[in-house]
Amino acid sequence: MTLKIHREGNVFVSTGLLIFAVFASLCFFYKAIIFYLLTAITLVLLLFVTWFFRKPERACITDENVIFAPADGKVVVCEEVEEDEYLKERRLQISIFMSLLNVHANNYPVGGKIEYCKHHHGKHFIAWYPKASHENERTTIAVNTAKGEIVFRQIAGVLARRIVCYAEKMIGREIEQNQKLGFIRFGSRVDIFIPLDAKVEVKIGQKVKSTQTVLARLS
């Protein structure tokens, strides 16, 4: 099976390959221990970056009655909160934490019309901390669906220094469920704010897969 790389990783992988090729060439010509060491380190980093930006092939499922996981990772929050940025009302919040080992591509958990998308500069606390949802660098997106409005938020963590969100250029346009939403580099989290009467299908500590795991069912 061919390992596919997400487009956000093309520059990183290409740069890594170039650096590796340079050090490997120096090893061939000079046979110095320092170049062997640098080549080995570069190879390890190249393999890690390639793995981090992997893009696995998955079946695309659509169902307007369910909310799919927008990211791979582990459920770290499942509670009732006040969504105070856009909806200004009580919602159930489900949060997914992505470790360095998870696929970091994000997908739309629902389909519909993008009504809102705003990027906020902020701090870089550990992504699973509760205050990360309000104080970290983040992008909030609202989608109007056949079942009402759903809000979700990409949050940067300690290592993450860039949130890529394709919704910024699509406000007012229709998107499909499980369509590509964006990417968060090197450790992060995604929050989803769903109606209080939704039936939650996951629990804290559960591992989920983007586009595959049902987080909740809408009434």
> Is residue 83 located within the same domain as residue 184?
yes
Provide the residue type at 118 as one letter.
K
Q: What is the pLDDT of residue 134?
A: 79
Domain count, the chain: 2
> Is residue 86 located within the same domain as residue 171?
yes
Instruction: Tell me the pLDDT tens digit for each residue of 97-118.
Output: 998 889 888 999 999 999 999 9
Token pair listed for 113: 């019309």
The answer on pLDDT for 160 being more than 60 is: no
Instruction: Tell me the pLDDT tens digit for each residue of 67-95.
Output: 999 999 999 999 999 999 999 999 999 99
Any domain includes 1: no
> Is residue 79 located within the same domain as residue 183?
yes
Instruction: Tell me the pLDDT tens digit for each residue of 7-52.
Output: 888 888 999 999 999 999 998 888 889 989 999 999 999 998 888 8
Average pLDDT over residues 176-197: 90
Tell which wins on pLDDT, 158 or 150.
150
Any domain includes 61: no
> Is residue 105 located within the same domain as residue 161?
yes
> Is residue 23 located within the same domain as residue 85?
no
Any domain includes 186: yes
Q: What is the pLDDT of residue 209?
A: 96
Tell which wins on pLDDT, 132 or 21.
21
Percent over 90 (pLDDT), the chain:
63
Any domain includes 119: yes
The overall average pLDDT reported for the chain is 90
> Is residue 184 located within the same domain as residue 99?
yes
> Is residue 37 located within the same domain as residue 117?
no
CATH number for the domain spanning 90: value is 2.70.70
Domain limits at 176? 66-217
Burial tier of 197 (Cβ tally within 10 Å: 0-12, 13-18, 19+):
exposed
Percent over 70 (pLDDT), the chain:
95
Any domain includes 2: no
Residues annotated as catalytic (active site), given as ranges: 188
> Is residue 189 located within the same domain as residue 134?
yes
Any domain includes 58: no
> Is residue 106 located within the same domain as residue 204?
yes
Any domain includes 57: no
The answer on pLDDT for 1 being more than 60 is: no
Q: What is the pLDDT of residue 161?
A: 61
Q: What is the pLDDT of residue 2?
A: 66
> Is residue 103 located within the same domain as residue 40?
no
Q: What is the pLDDT of residue 177?
A: 95
> Is residue 141 located within the same domain as residue 107?
yes
> Is residue 83 located within the same domain as residue 39?
no
The answer on pLDDT for 201 being more than 70 is: yes
Q: What is the pLDDT of residue 52?
A: 82
Any domain includes 171: yes
Q: What is the pLDDT of residue 159?
A: 64
Specify the long-range contacts of residues 44-50, CB closer than 8 Å, at least 24 apart. 45/16, 46/13, 46/16, 46/17, 46/19, 46/20, 49/9, 49/12, 49/13, 49/16, 50/3, 50/5, 50/9, 50/13, 50/16
